[in-house]
Amino acid sequence: MTESVKLSKKDFVAPADVRWCPGCGDYSILNALQKTLPEIGIQRENIVVVSGIGCSSRFPYYMNTYGFHTIHGRAPTVATGVKVTNPDLSVWMITGDGDALSIGGNHFMHLMRRNVDINVLLFNNEIYGLTKGQYSPTSEQGTKTKTSPMGSIDHPINPISLALAAEATFVARTSDGNPKHMNQILKAAASHKGCSFVEILQNCVIFNDKTFEDFLGRSVRDDNTLVLEEGKPLIFGKDRDKGVKYSSKGMEMVNIGEDGITLDDIVVHDPRNAPPGLTYAISRLRHPEAPVPMGVFKSVENRSVFEDMLVAQIDEATKAKGEGDLQKLLTGNGSWDVYEGKKSDRSTVTRIHDFASSEEQTIMSELEKGENAIASDPLLGALNNTIETMLAETETFPIATVSSEESLDVAIKLLLEKKIGCLPVIEDGKVLGILSERDITLKVMMKNIDLEFTPVSAIMSKDPTVLNTQNTVSHAISAMSAGSFRHLPVTDEEGNLQIVSVKGLMRYMSQKAKS
Partner 1 sequence: MVVKKQELQEVEQVVIRFAGDSGDGMQTIGERFSESAIFAGNDIATFPDFPAEIRAPAGTLPGVSGYQIQFGSQEILTPGDAPDALVAMNPAALKTNLDALTDKGLLIVNEGAFTAANLKKASYESNPLDDEKLYEKYRVVKVDINTMTDKALEDTPLKPAGKAKCRNFFALGFVLWIYGRDLDVTMKWISEKWSGKELIIESNTSVLKAGYYFGETTEVGLTRYTVAKAPVENGTYRKITGSEAMVLGIVAASKKCDRNIVIGSYPITPATSILEGLAKLKNYGVKIVQAEDEIAAIGIALGAAFTGALAVTTTSGPGICLKSEFMGLACITELPLLVIDVQRGGPSTGLPTKTEQSDLLQVLFGRNGESPMPVVAASSPGDCFYATFEAIRIALKYRTPVVLLSDGYIANGAEPWQVPIAKDLPSIKIEEAPIDSDYIPYKRDPETLARQLAFPGDLGNQHRLGGLEKNHAGDVSYNPENHQEMTDIRAAKIAGISNDYDPLEIMGKKKGRVLIIGWGGTYGSIATAVGNLIHQGAPIGYVHLRHINPLPNDLGDIIKKYDYVLIPELNNGQLDMIIRSKYLVDTIGLNKVQGKPFTVAELESKIRSLL
Least distance CB 21 / partner 1 (angstroms):
17
Q: Which is nearer to partner 1, 80 or 143 (CB)?
A: 80
Question: Closest CB to partner 1 among 43 and 134?
Answer: 43
Q: How far is the CB of 336 from partner 1 (least distance, A)?
A: 6
CA distance linking residue 130 with residue 377, whole number of Å: 63
Q: Which is nearer to partner 1, 247 or 362 (CB)?
A: 362
Residue 57's nearest CA partner among 94, 25, 18, 28 is 94
Amino acid sitting at position 386: T
Using the minimum distance from each CB to partner 1, give the nearer residue, 27 or 336. Answer: 336
Least distance (Å) from partner 1 to the CB of residue 438?
24
Quote the distance between the C-alpha of residue 43 and its chain's center: 22
Q: Which lies closer to partner 1 via its Cβ, residue 109 or residue 402?
A: 109
CA distance 247 to 268: 13
Nearer residue to partner 1 within complex by CB, 211 or 474: 474
For partner 1, the closer of residues 360 and 395 by Cβ is 360
Task: Tell me whether residue 367 or residue 442 sits nearer to partner 1 (CB atom).
Answer: 367
Output the smallest distance, CB 512 to partner 1, in A.
19
R_g (Cα) of the chain, nearest Å: 38
Is the CB of residue 405 less than 8 Å from the CB of residue 457?
Answer: yes
- Exposed, middle or buried by CB within 10 Å (0-12, 13-18, 19+), for 40? middle
Amino acid at 250: G
For 178-201, b where at least 16 C-beta lie within 10 A, e where not — what string?
bbebbbbbbebbbebebbbbbbbb
CA–CA distance, 261 with 145 (Å, rounded to integer): 44
Could you give the CA distance from residue 139 to residue 208 in angstroms, rounded to a whole number? 10
d(CA 282, CA 245): 11
d(CA 279, CA 293): 11
299 or 465: CB nearest partner 1: 465
Nearest distance, CB of residue 220 and partner 1, angstroms? 39
Task: Give the number of residues written for the chain.
Answer: 515
CA–chain centroid gap for 82, Å, is 8
φ and ψ at residue 13, rounded to 5 degrees: -90, 120
Half-sphere exposure (Cβ direction) of 32: Cα atoms closer than 13 Å: 22
Helix (H, G, I), strand (E, B) or coil at 147: coil
Shortest Å distance, C-beta 3 to partner 1: 8
Closest to partner 1 by CB, 173 or 475: 475
- Could you tell me the smallest distance in angstroms from the CB atom of residue 456 to partner 1? 27
Tell me whether residue 304 or residue 318 sits nearer to partner 1 (CB atom).
318
Amino acid identity of 420?
I
| Residue from 187, 189, 148 nearest 170 by CA | 189
HSE-CB at 470 with a 13 A cutoff on CA atoms is: 7
Shortest distance in whole angstroms from residue 380 CB to partner 1: 12
Residue closer to partner 1 (CB basis): 354 or 393: 354
| Nearest distance from C-beta of residue 364 to partner 1, angstroms | 4
Count of other CB atoms within 10 angstroms of residue 494: 6
Smallest gap from Cβ 433 to partner 1, in A, equals 19
**Least spacing, CB of residue 454 vs partner 1, in Å:** 33
User: How many Å separate Cα 200 from the centre of its chain?
Assistant: 29
Residue 250 CB partners (closer than 8 Å, separation 6+): 281
Identify which of residues 53 and 201 has a Cβ nearer to partner 1 in the complex: 53
CB of 5 vs partner 1, minimal distance in Å: 10
Among 158, 168, 159, 172, CA closest to 297? 172
Which residue stretches of 124-252 are H helix?
Answer: 159-165, 179-191, 213-216, 221-224
Q: Least distance from C-beta 468 to partner 1, angstroms?
A: 8
Which residues is 49 bridged to in the sheet? 67, 92
Edge-to-edge order in the sheet of strand 422-427: 422-427, 430-436, 461-462
